[in-house]
Structure 1
Amino acid sequence: MLGQLRRIVQDVAQEPILNKAMAGLVSSVKHALETECCSVYLADYKQQHFMLMATDGLNQDAVGKVAIGFSEGLIGWVGQREEPINLAQAHLHPRFKVTPEVSEDSFSAFLGCPIIHHRKVLGVLTIQQAAERVFSEDEESFLVTLGVQLASVLANAEMRDAATRITPFSQQGSQFHGLPGSPGMAIGEAYVAQPASDFAAISLKRAEDPEKELALFYRAVKITKAEFNRLAERMSSHLPADALAIFDVYHQLLDAASLGREIEIQITDGWCAKSALKRVVERFARQFDDMDDPYLRERGLDIRDLGQRVLNNLLDTEQRRAKLPDKVVLVADEVTATMLAEIPREQLVAVVSLRGSVNSHAAIMARALGIPAVMGVSELPLLHWHAQRVIVDGYQGHILLSPSEALCHEYQRLITEDVALNARYMEEISLPSASKCGEQFKFMVNSGLAVELENVHAQYTDGVGLYRTEFPFIIRDQFPTEQDQVDLYAQVLGSYPGKTVVMRTLDVGGDKALPYFSIIEENPFLGWRGIRLTLDHPEIFLVQIRAMIRANIDHDNLHILLPMICDLHEVDEAIRLVKQACFELSDELEITLPLPKIGVMIEVPSTLYLLPELAAKVDFCSVGTNDLTQYLLAVDRNNARVANLYDALHPSVLRALYRLGQDAQALHFPISICGELGGEPAGVLLLAAMGFRRFSMNSSNLARIKWLLRRVELAELQQLLTEVLQCHSPKQIRAEVQRFLEQKQLLTKLRA
């Protein structure tokens, strides 16, 4: 049974056209369960009904025509209950709906199973039989297991089908949804970075220039043959002649008389090179898969391996020849600092990351650059995006592929409004950082991702509240030397003369990996990261601290921040090493160097209960709301499947922050906010009411947040906080904040 399940799911996943995939599905299930009828109905939420998409046993003329309402019949009942329904005499059940068009009068037994993806019913899979019987537990288990496995494949197939229908001349295009990662809106052309080269990601597309496609294919074949020659030469001294014969077989398959000829025909018929390769390779491989002889079945693997190598070279050739569009929407499986660095800032207008969530580092980088981003759009394979015109709405997490001219015009109007609002904020950026009632605030910037952009408003800030030292480490191919770090840190410290610069020690692990220092863990966010790693490698920690102290000699504005602290021993050990580095440098340079102020990140829940002890050991603390939220809610912020559970406005997070603020004030312990929550309107209003007065944020948010706080009074914020702390959900909290902003007539002035 397990083999049949895998085969059915694989067949559906490999078929690029949804209707054909569904037709193949029902035939395979009917055969596997030896039943008399199998059908699949797909949900249409706009029309509020299930449409019969494929059947093997009912009237074929009803496919695509018969719809059953979400609250109608047995199909609607399965969808409502979200569980299997197994009936021996379906036609006698009160929920049974007579639908003459489908011709199911001869069937009595009925088993229906919902297909659910991310809590959403995508469809209903049914089997039927003439005999009056209850389907067995094994049959029901098979259908349930199949439904679970089909869910993500079906969601993917629907997205592929929608994307395949898009052409540059579409009047409506297609809309997809993700998570709003960075606010703003942009219109540009999708550029795919490091596309995953597998056939499942290839959509079938036509090409207007067969000669060009043939040239691309011939070039890929030439490179592939050269690779086989090198491999055969390298292995000739290790393998017998009969084993090396596989490379000759590969050569023959690529020749015009075999696979190569079939691919040429497909290209001549109008398919692009990638589509032609996919169609031929999958057809030949499946023919071998269906053979009874074990030796011949194995040749299907050879065909796939050969096709994969040609595809790799085909994609590589296209990528190198591709010219960057004027307005780049960077699309990647997971956007990295290196990808961002490779695209000129003046051309980069938006980011789409198929993995990650609102507070993954890809989103944080986008916010630091001040460009819109949408995260977690995992249903659509990468290669479907390439060269498409795209609208990215970072406010709502919407993406529109191949939008109409009217839609582009409307979004361009909104973009223009957004620019005008930002200009209004900038008019007040040099004014005092105070509330309407005169309460003083300090506004600092988070830095380290795009230093030139982050320093553009340096004169209007109170310094750097968080300098992320890890990104200069990430974009290199080895650990930077001490002198490399001295030069970099001196430049940052020198950009803020007389103002505090808080430098966080190396914070890698989790979703921040060093290419030259691989860390493979089952649960990296609870693993070897932050201070845990650097204390285990004092040679790394000491070099970095030495570089910071040396860079500070001419500036005297350095504060050092320790990340991922969870117990007091880590603090003691880190302080010991900082003192050691300071003493060694004083001795080497024959001058007395002052010990920089040292602080800790409050991001692990355990530190919430260690504040008195921490206040006795260090000079200040800074709250990392991103990780604190992640750990309080036990939600991986990079996992799109649970991203809806990650919310810094969750009642438990706000109550923890309120308690933390009260405790810090009672201890006279300097505290600041450096997480993303402090750069959001709702977050900063509530944090200010809690007593927080120091905020560090992305420079792109600075003018807006200062503008907002200048229009509110502390007393009214504290009244808002009282109401918010009684709320039971993030949705209620957002509604309270929105109501407050509407009453102050500020809501429409915060975004277009």
Structure 2
Amino acid sequence: MLGQLRRIVQDVAQEPILNKALAGLVSSVKHALATECCSVYLADYQQQHFMLMATDGLNQDAVGKVSIGFSEGLIGWVGQREEPINLAQAHLHPRFKVTPEVSEDRFSAFLGCPIIHHRKVLGVLTIQQSAERVFSEDEESFLVTLGVQLASVLANAEMRDAASRSSGYQQQVSQLAGLPGAPGMAIGQAYVLQPASDFAAISLKKAEDPEKELAHFYRAVKITKAEFNRLAERMSQHLPEDALAIFDVYHQLLDAASLGREIEAQIAEGWCAKSALKRVVERFARQFDDMEDPYLRERGLDIRDLGQRVLNNLLDTEQRRAKLPEQVVLVADEVTATMLAEIPREQLVAVVSLRGSVNSHAAIMARALGIPAVMGVSELPLLHWHEQKLIVDGYQGLILLSPTEALSNEYLRLISEDQAMHARYQQEIALPSQSQCGERFKLMVNSGLAVELENQHAQYTDGVGLYRTEFPFIIRSRFPTEQEQIELYAKVLSSYPQKTVVMRTLDVGGDKALPYFSIIEENPFLGWRGIRLTLDHPEIFLVQIRAMVKANVGQDNLHILLPMVSDLAEVDEAIRLIRQACFEVGDELGIAVPRPKVGVMIEVPSVLYLLPELAARVDFCSVGTNDLTQYLLAVDRNNARVANLYDALHPAVLRALHQLGQQAQALQFPISICGELGGEPAGVLLLAAMGFRRFSMNSSNLARIKWLLRRVELSELALLLPEVLCCHSPKQVRLQVQRFLEHKQLLTQVRT
């Protein structure tokens, strides 16, 4: 039964044309359950009805023509109740709706199951039979399980169908919804970097030039055969001759008389080389999977291994041939710092990350670079994006594939308006950071991802509130030496003379991995990261502190920030090591080296209750709102499935920040905000109302936030805060802030 389910879902996922996929679905389900009829209805929320999209048993002429309202009939009832409905005499039920066009008079038994994705009913799957009986628990379980597995496949069915058409000879705009990762809008060409080299990432696409695709396939086969020859030669000294025969089998399978001929036929039908390979390999592998003989079943693994190797060589060849577009929209399964470093900054216009959410590391990097980003667009296979023209709207989290000229022109106009708005902000960049009533704020920058860009307005800031030291570690193939770190840190410190530079010690783990220091954990965000890792490796921590202290000689503007602190013992041990490093540097240089000011990041909820003890141990604290939000709400900020639950404007987060600010003021404990919330208009207004006066943000947000703060009175914000703290949802919070900005006539000038 499980094998049948898997094959049905795979068949639907592999068919690029939606109508054909659904037609295959109903036939497969009817056969698997030995019933007389299977049908599928898809929800149309604009028309508020379910449309019959495929059937095997009802009148075929009704497909695409007959619809049932959301509140009508048994289909509407299944959708309303969002649970299976199993009836022995469906025609006698009061909710039964007679629809002559579908010709279902002969059926009595009815079982309907909703297809639900992220709380939204996408459609209804039904089976029917003429005999009056209640379908068994096994049959109902099969249909429910199938509906759950189909949900993710059909979640963006309309988009997937449109995208498939747009990649062929017809050009049709399709709109994809993601999460707003970084503000802004851009138009460019998709450049897929480091695509996932497995068949799940391949969407079926047609090609205009079969001869060219055939040449690509032959080239990949030639490379693959050469690999097998090398492998066979290398293993000949270790394996018996009969074991080496597998390489001969692989050669034979690739020959024209076997898989090769089938793939050539698929290419001749118009499929691109990757699609042809996928269709043939998965069809043959499934045939072996269905065999009873265990030995023959194992041959399915051989087919998949062979196909994987050919696919890898196809992708490698394409990546080498690919020319970088003039306007690059970087698309990747998960965008990393090294990927961003590979694209010249003048050509990179936007980022699309299939994984991640609003405050994932990729989104933070995009905001640091000042380029729009959309996250969590996971429904379209990665390789389907390659070379497509895209419009990326980072404000709304929208992506438009293959936009028309009229649509492109409209977005060019919006981009021009956006640029004019930012130019208006820049006109006040040199003015004091203060409110209308004269209250002064310290506005600092988060640095370390794009240092040259971040240092452009160094003279207009109050320093660096967060320097992320992990970036030089991430882009190297080894740990940087002490001297390399000294040179890097000295350059940063000297760029901000007589201004504070807060350097965070190495903060890797979670979604920030070192290529040469692999950390594999089931739950990395709750695992070995930040201060936990560096205290376990004092040889790494001490070298970094020594480099910071040496770079600070003659500058005297260094502050050290400890990340991921959750326990007072961690602080005590870190301070001990910092003192040791200062002593070692002083002894080496023959001078007295005072200990720099040390602070802790407030990002783990436990430290919210340790503020008095922290104030007695360290000199300052800085709130990392990104991780604090993640841990308070128990939401993985990289997980697109729960990304809608991650919101720094959640009432619980705001109330925690309010209490934290009040307690810090009472203790006279210096506190700042270095998370993304402090660089957002709604966030900075509420934080200012809570009493926070130090904010560190991406340099791209600095002018906008200064412009906004100069137009508000603290007395007005004091009236806004109680209303916000009484809100029950982030939506209500945003509405209150929008009303405030509208009252101040600022809403159209500041995007929230």
Give the TM bin, normalised by the shorter chain.
over 0.9
TM-superposed deviation, 1:667: 1.1
Post-superposition offset of 1:515: 1.1
Evaluate the alpha carbon distance shift between residue 206 and residue 14 of structure 1 in structure 2; reply closer, same or farther with a 3 A threshold.
Answer: closer
Aligned partners of 1:614, 1:287: CA distance in 2, in Å? 64
Q: Which residue of 2 aligns with 1:718?
A: 718
Q: Tell me, in whole angstroms, the C-alpha distance in 1 between the residues paired with 2:17 and 2:344.
A: 37
What is the CA-CA distance between 1:743 and the residue it aligns to? 0.9
- Indicate if the aligned counterparts of 1:418 and 1:751 stay in contact, CA closer than 8 A: no
Cα deviations across residues 220-257 of structure 1 (Å, max 9, x unaligned)?
11100101101111221222222222211221222233
Assess, with a 3 A threshold, how the Cα gap between structure 1 residues 142 and 374 changes in structure 2: closer, same or farther. same
Structure 1 match to 2:617: 617
Corresponding residue for residue 705 of structure 2: 705
Deviation of 1:300 (Å): 3.4
Does residue 527 in structure 1 map to residue 527 in structure 2? yes
Contact 1:354–1:378 (CA<8 Å) still a contact in 2? yes
**After superposition, where does 1:96-245 map in structure 2 within 5 Å?**
96-155=96-155, 158-167=158-167, 172-245=172-245
Q: Which residue of 1 aligns with 2:381?
A: 381
| Mapped contact 1:40–1:53 kept (Cα < 8 A) | yes
Q: Tell me the distance in 2 between the aligned counterparts of 1:603 and 1:176.
A: 33
Change (3 A) 1:183 1:169: farther
Give the whole-Å Cα distance in 2 for the aligned partners of 1:292 and 1:337: 48
The residue aligned with 1:480 is 480
How does 1:311-326 map onto structure 2 within 5 Å?
311-326=311-326
Moved more, 593-602 or 265-274: 265-274
Q: Distance in 2 between matches of 1:681 and 1:110?
A: 54
Counterpart CA distance in 2 for 1:651 and 1:751 is 21
1:633 and 1:751 mapped to 2: Cα distance? Answer: 25
How far apart in 2 are the matches of 1:275 and 1:168? Answer: 13
1:541 and 1:687, CA in 2 relative to 1: closer, same or farther beyond 3 A? same
Letter in 2 for 1:309: R
Q: Does 1:401 align with 2:401?
A: yes
Q: How big is the shift at 1:180? A: 0.2
Shift of residue 387 of structure 1? 0.3
Q: CA offset at residue 287 of structure 1?
A: 4.2
In structure 1, what is the Cα distance between the partners aligned to 2:592 and 2:133? 90
Tell whether the 8 Å contact from 2:16 to 2:205 is kept in structure 1 after alignment. no
| C-alpha distance after superposition, 1:275-316 (max 9, x if no partner) | 232333334334444555554444333333222211110111
Structure 2 partner of 1:341: 341
Whichever residue aligns with residue 327 of structure 2, its letter is K
Please state whether the residue corresponding to 1:641 is helix, strand or coil.
helix
Does the alignment pair 1:444 with 2:447? no
1:14/1:200 contact within 8 Å kept: no
Kept in 1, the 8 Å contact 2:482–2:544? The answer is: yes
- Alignment partner, residue 364 of structure 1: 364
Hey, what's the Cα distance between the residues in 2 that align with 1:731 and 1:25?
Answer: 39
Which residue of the partner structure matches residue 53 of structure 1?
A: 53
Aligned to 2:77: 77
Q: Is the 8 A contact 1:281 1:307 kept in 2?
A: yes
Q: Which amino acid aligns with 1:133?
A: R
CA distance in 2, matches of 1:294, 1:158: 40
**In structure 2, what is the Cα distance between the partners aligned to 1:289 and 1:22?**
23
Superposition pairs of residues 196-595 of structure 1, within 5 angstroms: 196-291=196-291, 293-595=293-595
Find the counterpart in structure 2 of residue 89 from structure 1: 89
C-alpha contact (below 8 Å) 2:165/2:172 kept by paired residues: no
1:9 corresponding residue in structure 2: 9
Judge which range, 609-618 or 319-328, deviates more: 609-618
Partner of 1:647: 647
Q: Distance in 2 between matches of 1:682 and 1:554?
A: 39
Deviation for aligned residue 1:587: 1.2
Q: Contact (CA 8 Å) 2:159, 2:174: kept in 1 or not? A: no
- Measured in 2, the distance between the counterparts of 1:265 and 1:143 equals 36
* Equivalent pair of 2:168/2:205 in contact (CA under 8 Å): no
SS in 2 for 1:323: coil
CA displacement, residues 582-635 of structure 1 (integer Å, 9 cap, x when unaligned): 011111111101110001111111111111111111111101111111111111
Native 8 Å contact 2:58 2:104 kept in 1: yes
Conserved? CA contact 1:679–1:702, under 8 Å: yes
Secondary structure of the residue aligned to 1:748 is coil
Give the Cα–Cα distance (whole angstroms) in 2 for the partners of residues 243 and 171 of structure 1.
Answer: 51
Matching residue's letter, 2:619: D
> Partners of 1:285 and 1:537 in 2: how far apart?
47
CA contact (8 A) 1:671 1:694 kept: yes
Distance in 2, matches of 1:298 and 1:324, equals 42
User: Structure 1 residues 700-709 or 526-535, which shifts more?
Assistant: 526-535
Question: Residue 359 of structure 1 contacts residue 626 of structure 1 at CA under 8 Å; is this kept in 2?
Answer: yes
- Mean alpha-carbon deviation: is it higher for 371-380 or for 132-141? 132-141
In the TM superposition, residue 749 of structure 1 has moved relative to its aligned partner by: 0.8
Contact kept in structure 2, 1:326 and 1:347, CA below 8 Å = yes
CA contact (8 A) 2:602 2:628 kept: yes
Q: Secondary structure at the match of 2:659?
A: helix
Q: From the superposition, tell whether residues 285 and 408 of structure 1 become closer, same or farther in structure 2 (CA, over 3 Å).
A: same
Q: Distance in 2 between matches of 1:358 and 1:31?
A: 44
Query: Contact 2:168–2:207 at 8 Å: present in 1 too?
Result: no
SS state at 1:642 partner: helix
| Identity score, percent | 88
- Distance in 2, matches of 1:120 and 1:391, equals 26
Moved more, 347-356 or 20-29: 20-29
Does the C-alpha gap of structure 1 residues 521 and 583 become closer, same or farther in structure 2, counting only changes over 3 Å?
A: same
Shift of 1:392: 0.4
2-side partners of 1:454 and 1:613: how far apart? 34
Name which of structure 1's ranges 480-489 and 34-43 shifts more when overlaid on structure 2. Answer: 34-43
Q: Cα RMSD over matched residues?
A: 1.6
CA positional deviation for 1:89: 1.1
State the one-letter code of the partner of 1:676: E
Cα deviation, residue 269, structure 1? 4.2
CA distance in 2, matches of 1:671, 1:288: 64
SS of the aligned residue for 1:747 comes to coil
CA separation in 2, counterparts of 1:291 and 1:22?
26
User: What whole-Å deviation, never above 9, does each CA across 1:199-222 have from its counterpart, x for those lacking one?
Assistant: 333233333333322222221111
**Aligned equivalents of 1:609 and 1:725: distance in 2?**
20
In the alignment, the residues of structure 2 paired with residue 424 and residue 42 of structure 1 have an alpha-carbon distance, to the nearest angstrom, of 48
**2:143 & 2:570 partners in 1: Cα distance?**
53
Residue 171 of structure 1: how far off its partner (Å): 5.6
Instruction: Provide Cα deviations, 1:77-110, integer angstroms capped at 9, x if missing partner.
Output: 1011101111111111111111111111011111
Aligned residue number for residue 744 of structure 1: 744
Instruction: Quote the Cα distance in structure 2 between the aligned partners of 1:558 and 1:200.
Output: 49
Q: 1:516-563 CA deviation, whole Å, 9 max, x = no partner?
A: 111111111111111111111111111110000000002110000011
Q: Is the 8 A contact 1:436 1:712 kept in 2?
A: yes
Kept in 1: contact 2:14–2:204 (CA 8 A): no
Equivalent residues of 1:86, 1:112 under 8 A apart: yes
Structure 1: unaligned runs, 5 residues or longer: none
Mean CA deviation greater in 26-35 or 699-708 = 26-35
Whole-angstrom CA distance in 2 between matches of 1:633 and 1:288: 46
